[in-house]
Amino acid sequence: MNDSKTRIASNIKDKDLINVRRQELVNAAVELFVKKGFHKTTVREIAKEFGMSMGALYDYIRTKEDILFLVCDHIHKSVSEKLQGSLVGNKDARENLKNAIRDYFTIIDEIQDYSLLLYQETKSLNRTDRNYILSAEKELVAIFEDIITHGIREKIFKIDRNTAKIAAENIMVQGQMWAFRRWAIQKNYSLKNYIKIQTELILKSLT
């Protein structure tokens, strides 16, 4: 996958400054997007929230859709980095999967509004950027699939490799469900209990 930083033109030459300002821009914009919706939020409102003039803002992005792309990209990278960190150390596939589920569900809890925004507004991106974001999601699914496949080779998990693909997709959906159906689930379960129950169900389905 190409580096997302090169997908959006900038008048600024300092790459480190671009990264810092764009991250600040993401933080400012996402609150407005969640509160008002992407389409009802104006670039002027984002600039005001960002504490920057319209002219200065356009040094870092070109369109409101660029900001949405940065937000979506930030969400996926945050999740990916967290998941990769959970796999450090010499652990078997069962422990790796338990850690990855725990970390994935935890970060979904931390970015619930971001997650809802991502799935509501990805369709507003142009086809190229939308495909980039969808590819990023496939890479997240692949992390779980690789763990499960490793467990199959170790004879820890009893499913076949084709089923492993569906199992990995199911884990993604179950994590997202914590945010998507929070109005129902979070009334009855703490995050800790939700993770425990879902992890037990997932491991049981694999063995």
Q: How far apart are CA 72 and CA 12, in angstroms?
A: 22
Q: Which domain holds residue 144?
A: 7-206
Using a pLDDT cut of 90, give the percent of the chain over it: 40
Is 196 inside a domain boundary? yes
pLDDT for 101-148, tens place per residue? 999 999 899 888 888 877 788 888 888 888 888 888 899 999 999 999
Q: How far apart are CA 125 and CA 187, in angstroms?
A: 34
Q: Which CATH number fits the domain that encloses residue 107? A: 1.10.357.10
pLDDT of residue 26: 83
Specify the number of domains making up the chain.
Answer: 1
The parts of the chain modelled with pLDDT lower than 50 are 1-2
Q: 121: how many CB neighbours lie within 10 A of its CB? A: 17
| 36 membership: H or E segment, kind and range | helix 15-36
pLDDT of residue 91: 77
Is 123 inside a domain boundary? yes
Q: What spatial distance separates the first Cα and last Cα of the chain, rounded to whole Å?
A: 34
Is 2 inside a domain boundary? no
Is 1 inside a domain boundary? no
